[in-house]
């Protein structure tokens, strides 16, 4: 496999030749069985597998099945609880604090967002804070489910350190995503963004795949630009808009971590090399029932008009189409549903090995 950012871009787009084409439902069923093998109930294992495979479908392999191995290891070592019961610690008509019982972040996230949706349907809107949780994968996954139920959905999370606060050179803030989505006549309009130019997940995947990274993505531990993802992993990623991206992450730590009673930034234990101390991550999920403010179809009509205006705008040179937030990922999902997902050699081999390791028949 060649190195360099060109190859990296091709991997992200699923265009490199040395990949395996796999069916998404088979891949999901296999991942589900792997999670069941480590003590997760069937339905919750399904959620975890669905979240990972959905990231692959969207063309976001950094949050996809390449993470199955680490999640399994965390379940096996019991630093993450396979069976757990989220507990409501505080509740008002439009806010909830949920203790995730150190379970899988994806399961806690899916439950928490659904609780926000139920309560928003009753009362108009709802904030659900989650503590005692773990890494929760691609955050767009949760807000999409809210939007599909007629909601404005929002989510963020605390995260381990990967980015320096503006003015510092020390990794302290997480590259916590913020995600927001609304329903449309087609797929939801969905923004899922890290406060850095790229998420640390992409740097980590590049290191795993042995590719380089473009300059501008990451700084090494001395605060100098690097194209080596392994050096970038030891250093920091660069915030968008300087103080602005830094401020966005600060608020993800405050809302996801501090307000929920969970941990943030440097106090979140590493998912990758700490199998003793739980991560104690926290999240925030918000749902707002659009139909209580405006007729949902009228809203979708106006959103459609916005979309058509955007599509008709004059483009800069080299751009063939202007996309709505989330549209590129949705196009990729449709394509991969129909034609299969391209999984890189490295990740495919890893999935094969996991079957042997955990005694699960490899069926993708």
Part in contact with a copy of itself (CB under 8 A); list of ranges 71-79, 271-279, 284-292, 347-355 = 284-292
Q: Compute how many residues bind a copy of itself; rule: CB under 8 A.
A: 70
- Residues in CB range of 168: below 8 A, 6 or more apart: none
Cα(184)–Cα(182) distance, rounded to whole angstroms? Answer: 7
Residue 302 Cβ vs a copy of itself, minimum distance, rounded to whole Å:
5
Closest C-alpha to 40, from 75, 86, 1 = 75
How many Cα neighbours within 13 Å face the side chain of 198?
A: 22
250 belongs to the binding site for a copy of itself (CB under 8 A): yes
Pick the closest to residue 154 from 123, 188, 198, 192 (CA basis): 192
- Contacts of residue 363, defined as CB under 8 A and 6 or more positions apart, other chains included, come to 26, 29, 30
CA distance readout (Å), 139 to 14, 37, 210, 276, 319? 21, 25, 26, 25, 28
94 touches a copy of itself by CB under 8 A: yes
**Whole-angstrom Cα distance, residue 345 to residue 7?**
14
- By CB under 8 A, tell whether 285 contacts a copy of itself: no
- Smaller CB distance to a copy of itself: residue 49 or 139? 139
Q: At what angle do helices 42-57 and 327-339 cross, to 10 degrees?
A: 110
For strands 218-219 and 189-193, give the pairing: unpaired
Single out the segment in contact with a copy of itself by CB under 8 A; choices: 26-34, 227-235, 322-330, 347-355: 322-330
Q: Binder to a copy of itself among 325, 331, 340, 348 (CB under 8 A)?
A: 325
302: contact with a copy of itself by CB under 8 A = yes
CB of 95 to a copy of itself, least distance (A): 3
Among 264, 333, 341, 347, binds a copy of itself (CB under 8 A): 264
By CB under 8 A, is residue 180 in contact with a copy of itself? Answer: yes
Does residue 12 bind a copy of itself (CB under 8 A)? no
To the nearest whole angstrom, how small is the minimum distance from the Cβ of residue 250 to a copy of itself? 6
Binding of residue 211 to a copy of itself (CB under 8 A): no
Write down the least CB distance from residue 137 to a copy of itself, Å. 20
DSSP tag of 66: G
* Strand, coil or helix: 171: coil
Q: At what angle do helices 24-37 and 42-57 cross, to 10 degrees?
A: 140
CA-closest candidate to residue 57, choices 342, 270, 364, 358: 342
Nearest-Å Rg of the Cα atoms of the chain is: 20
Q: Give Cα 268 to chain centroid, integer Å.
A: 17
Q: Which is nearer to a copy of itself, 70 or 322 (CB)?
A: 322
Candidate residues 52, 72, 126, 360; the one interacting with a copy of itself per rule CB under 8 A:
126
For the window 103-122, what string marks contact with a copy of itself as x by the rule CB under 8 A?
A: -----------------x--
Q: Which residues, in sequence order, are bridge partners of residue 281?
A: 133
Taking CB under 8 A as the rule, does residue 13 contact a copy of itself?
A: no
> Which residue in 21, 83, 87, 90 binds a copy of itself (CB under 8 A)?
90
Alpha carbons 308 and 219: distance in angstroms, whole number: 39
For residues 69 and 95, which CB has a smaller minimum distance to a copy of itself in the complex? Answer: 95
Residues that bind a copy of itself in the complex, under the rule CB under 8 A: 90, 92-95, 97, 120, 123-127, 129, 152, 164-170, 172, 180, 182, 189, 191, 193, 197, 223, 240-241, 243-245, 247-248, 250-251, 253-255, 258-261, 264, 266, 286, 288-290, 292-294, 299, 302-303, 306, 309-310, 313-316, 319, 321-325
């Amino acid at each position: 496999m060649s190195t360099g950012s060109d190859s990296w871009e091709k991997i992200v787009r699923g265009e490199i030749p040395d990949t395996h084409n796999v069916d998404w439902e088979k891949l999901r069923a296999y991942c589900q069985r792997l999670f069941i093998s480590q003590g997760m109930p069937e339905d919750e294992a399904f959620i975890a597998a669905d979240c990972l495979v959905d990231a692959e479908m969207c063309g976001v392999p950094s949050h996809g099945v390449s993470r199955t191995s680490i999640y399994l290891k965390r379940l096996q070592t019991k630093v993450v609880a396979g069976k757990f019961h989220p507990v409501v610690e505080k509740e008002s008509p439009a806010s909830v604090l949920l203790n995730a019982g150190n379970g899988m972040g994806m399961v806690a996230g899916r439950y928490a967002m659904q609780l926000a949706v139920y309560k928003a349907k009753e009362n108009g809107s709802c904030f659900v804070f989650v503590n005692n949780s773990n890494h929760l994968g691609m955050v767009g996954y949760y807000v999409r489910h809210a939007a599909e139920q007629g909601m404005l959905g929002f989510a963020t999370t605390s995260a381990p350190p990967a980015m320096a606060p503006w003015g510092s050179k020390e990794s302290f803030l997480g590259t916590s995503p913020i995600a927001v989505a609304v329903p449309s006549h087609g797929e939801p309009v969905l923004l899922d963004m890290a406060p850095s130019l790229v998420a640390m997940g992409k740097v980590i995947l590049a290191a795993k795949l042995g590719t380089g990274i473009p300059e501008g993505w990451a700084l090494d531990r001395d605060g100098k630009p690097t194209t080596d993802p392994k050096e970038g992993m030891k250093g920091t990623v660069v915030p968008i808009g300087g103080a602005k991206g830094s401020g966005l992450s600060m608020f993800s730590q405050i809302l996801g971590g501090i307000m929920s009673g969970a941990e943030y930034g440097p106090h979140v234990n590493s998912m990758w090399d700490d199998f003793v101390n739980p991560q104690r991550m926290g999240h925030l999920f918000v749902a707002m029932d659009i139909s209580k403010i405006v007729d949902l179809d009228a809203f979708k009509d106006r959103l459609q008009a916005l979309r058509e205006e955007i599509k008709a705008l004059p483009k800069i040179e080299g751009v063939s189409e202007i996309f709505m937030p989330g549209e590129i990922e949705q196009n990729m999902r449709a394509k991969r549903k129909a034609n299969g997902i391209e999984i890189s050699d490295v990740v495919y081999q890893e999935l094969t090995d996991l079957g042997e390791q955990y005694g699960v028949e490899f069926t993708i």
